Structure 1
Amino acid sequence: MNASREKRGELHEAYVRELEPALARLRLRLSGPGDPQLDGSVESLDAVNEWFLTFIKERQETETVDLPSWWNPARPTAESGVPGSGPFTSSQLVLIDEVQAYLGEVLTKARPDATWVIYKGHKLDSWNGQTMLQTGKGMPFAVRGIVYNEALGAFLYRREVPVKQLSELVRTALAG
């Protein structure tokens, strides 16, 4: 990220501030009978991820919704019709935001010492300046990037993304 230190700080604060509202939206969305249970456990990630990987494939071109703070507002979403836009609609980006907030909740529940940090890597590192979850020593956990990449694989590239991928990544992060 080529933003100034102040801008990275503002984006980080906005990201952390938006986690609870994103979780509340996901809880509301998944409040019906038969929906995955959001109990904050690592085991719950499999059912949530199965639901997410199915739902993200549906291009939701209803109305434009407010974009998450981590999305570059200068980059048009898929429903804009602008050449080179996308790949996701604003509704899909909100869904990604909700699931990554839940993934963050699962990690922080499993590791109460986990903290949201601004990753400081080499200036050419694509993760540099991004908000990540530090769960111990070593590389922080790229919560948003992991969920976004799953969505890309399932929706854009039509790849089979393993349902257990999130829970396995969490277990690996917690073991390290």
Structure 2
Amino acid sequence: MNASREKREELHEAYVRELEPAQARLRKRLSGPGDPQLDGSVESLDAVNAWFLTRILEPREAETADLPSWWDPASPTAESDVPGSGPFTSGQLALIEEMQAYVGEVMTNARPDATWVIYKGHKLDFRNGQTMLQTGKGMPFAVQGIVYGEALGAFLYRREVPVKQLSELVRTALAR
């Protein structure tokens, strides 16, 4: 990220501030009798991720949502019909944001010492400036990138994303 330090801090604070509202929106979405239970445990991730990977495949042109703070507002969403836009609609981006927030909740429940940090790596690292979750020593966990990557794999590339992949990554990060 080529933004100034102040802008990176502003985006980081916005990301962290949006976590609880995104968690609340996901809980509202998943309040039906057959929906996965959002108990904040690592064990719940597989069922929630299976639901997420199914729902992300459903384009939501009719459903518009506010763009998450991590999305570049200059990048048009899929429903804008601007050439080169997408791949996701604002509704799908909201779903991705909600899933990111839930993964963060699961991880901070399991590791109360986990903290949201602004990643700073090598000057050419594309992840510089991103908000990540530090769960111990070593590389912080890129919640945003991992969930967004799953959505890209399933929706854009039409790949079968293993449901357990996310929970395995989370367990590995929590073990550090």
Same fold by TM (over 0.5)? yes
SS in 2 for 1:116: strand
Q: Residues 71-94 of structure 1: CA distance to partner in whole angstroms, max 9, x if unpaired?
A: 000000000000000000000000
Structure 2 CA distance for aligned equivalents of residues 20 and 63 of structure 1 = 21
**Offset of residue 149 of structure 1:** 0.2
Structure 2 CA distance for aligned equivalents of residues 135 and 71 of structure 1 = 24
2:172 is the alignment partner of 1:172: yes
Task: Kindly provide the amino acid, as one letter, of the partner of residue 164 in structure 1.
Answer: K
Q: Which residue of 2 aligns with 1:20?
A: 20
Q: Residues 54-113 of structure 1: CA distance to partner in whole angstroms, max 9, x if unpaired?
A: 000011111422100000000000000000000000000000000000000000000000
**Offset of residue 18 of structure 1:** 0.2
Unaligned runs of 5+ in 2: none
Q: Residues 29-65 of structure 1: CA distance to partner in whole angstroms, max 9, x if unpaired?
A: 0000010100011010000000000000011111422
Within 5 Å, which residues of 2 pair with 1:11-160?
11-160=11-160
Task: Kindly provide the amino acid, as one letter, of the partner of residue 163 in structure 2.
Answer: V
CA RMSD, Structure 1 to Structure 2 (Å): 0.6
**Offset of residue 174 of structure 1:** 1.3
Identity value in percent: 86
SS in 2 for 1:117: strand
Task: Kindly provide the amino acid, as one letter, of the partner of residue 104 in structure 2.
Answer: G
TM-score by length of 2: 0.99
Unaligned runs of 5+ in 1: none
Number of residue pairs matched?
176
